[in-house]
Structure 1
């Protein structure tokens, strides 16, 4: 991640949390603590934040009467750097499942964002709430792109609406592709109620649900259940999957497709 991007995300996190310790910022931004300390020092000199013992504090904790709303969950740009190589292979496999001219739905997230390069040469009708993916495809492909109405949540680069009339109900997709922070015995999980609301609306408009999740997501838990495993048709993951989870998914009639990095 570029320093400019990291600085932007660091300030976004502080705007959300008010203040944060160096270890917390290091974890969320996937950067070393030494790097985060240097970032804090630079931003403090620019008066973009206030440096405190062991961390940093936002300069805008109470100065704005209308605070920007944030979703619970990880930072999109930081997530794109985590397990990037395997996510790209998973995304390429997902695009292979699409037929030319097909209408599909792509939910926002770092794993589905990786579909952008493989989609560049395709001709599909795509409904997505991913602002980042829509931008990439608009610039580099001839796909038909449809966006729902709603508010842009910058941290996750996703467009969401609390209202029913966001245009999603007018679209039908033969397949829906989505990532997840956690999938296991309780099903597909999420981090924020607004994400659950949005994804439920998208799920209603698709015939088949395809989940993109590297093996680090398998068996994890989150605070909210989006849907049961019985609603998942295909899971695309990597070959580091624990055999017990492979058995669990096959028990629920989920087709598991595995990818692997080439040996060096």
Structure 2
């Protein structure tokens, strides 16, 4: 992540949280604590935030960030750097399941964003609420890209709407692709009610649900349940998933597709 992007996201997080410690900011932005301390010092000198003992505080007077609604969950740009190579393999496998000319739905997220490279040479009709993916495909592919109506949430780089007339109900996809912060015995999980609302609307418009989740997401828990495992048709993951979870998914008749990753991953 570029320094400018990290600074912007750091200020976004402080606007949302009010204040945060160095370890919290380090975890959310996937940067070292030393890097975060340097960022805080630089931004403090610019009067973009207030430096406090062990962290930083939002400076509403000097900050250029205005109050806006936020979603619970991790930062998209930071997430794209986590398990990047594994996500790329999973995403490539996901795109290989699509037929030319097919209409599909892609939910926003760092795992599904990685589908961009394999989609560059394809010709599909794609509905996505991922602002970042739509930009990539518009610039680097001949796919037909449709965006729903709504508000842009910058932190997750997705478009969401609280209203029914956002255009989603007019679209049908044979497959829906989505990532998840957690999947396990309780089902497919999410972090924010707005994300659950949006994803449930998208699910209604698809024949098949295909989940992209590297092994670090398997067996984890989050605060909200999006749907039960019975709603998942295919799970694409890596070959480091524990056997007990493979048995769980088999019990729920989920087709599990694994990609091989080197032992060093």
Q: Does 1:22 align with 2:26?
A: no
Counterparts of 1:182 and 1:61 in 2: how far apart (Å)? Answer: 38
Name the residue aligned to 1:182: 182
Instruction: Give the whole-Å Cα distance in 1 for the aligned partners of 2:60 and 2:236.
Output: 42
Check conservation: 1:215, 1:237, Cα contact below 8 A: yes
The alpha-carbon deviation at position 60 of structure 1 amounts to: 1.9
Matched residue, 2:82: 82
Question: How far does the alpha carbon of each residue in 1:76-133 deviate from its partner, in whole angstroms, 9 at most, with x for none?
Answer: 0000000000000000000000000000000000000000010000000000000000
Residue aligning to 1:202: 202
Q: How many residues align?
A: 263
User: What residue in structure 2 maps to residue 155 of structure 1?
Assistant: 155
CA deviation vs aligned residue, 1:162-207 (integer Å, no higher than 9, x gap) = 0000000000000000000000000000000000000000000000
SS in structure 2 opposite 1:142?
A: coil
For 2:263 and 2:244, the matched residues in 1 are separated by: 25
Post-superposition Cα deviations, 1:182-241, rounded to whole Å, max 9, x if no partner, equal: 000000000000000000000000000000000000111011000000000000000000
Q: Does 1:53 align with 2:53?
A: yes
Q: Name the structure 2 match of 1:92.
A: 92
Aligned to 1:261: 261
Q: 1:61 to 1:201 in 2, by over 3 A?
A: farther
The answer to whether the Cα contact below 8 Å between 1:15 and 1:61 also exists between their aligned partners in 2 is no
Q: TM-score normalized by structure 2?
A: 0.97
Secondary structure of 1:177 counterpart: strand
Please give the alpha-carbon distance, in whole angstroms, between the structure 2 residues aligned to 1:61 and 1:24: 23
CA distance in structure 1 between the aligned counterparts of 2:197 and 2:115, rounded to whole angstroms: 24
With structure 1 as the length reference, what TM-score do the two structures score? 0.97
Distance 1:173 1:154 in 2: 26
Give the match for residue 43 of structure 1. 43
1:241–1:61 CA distance, 2 compared to 1 (3 A)? farther
CA shift, 1:62, in A, is 11
* Partner SS for 1:81: coil
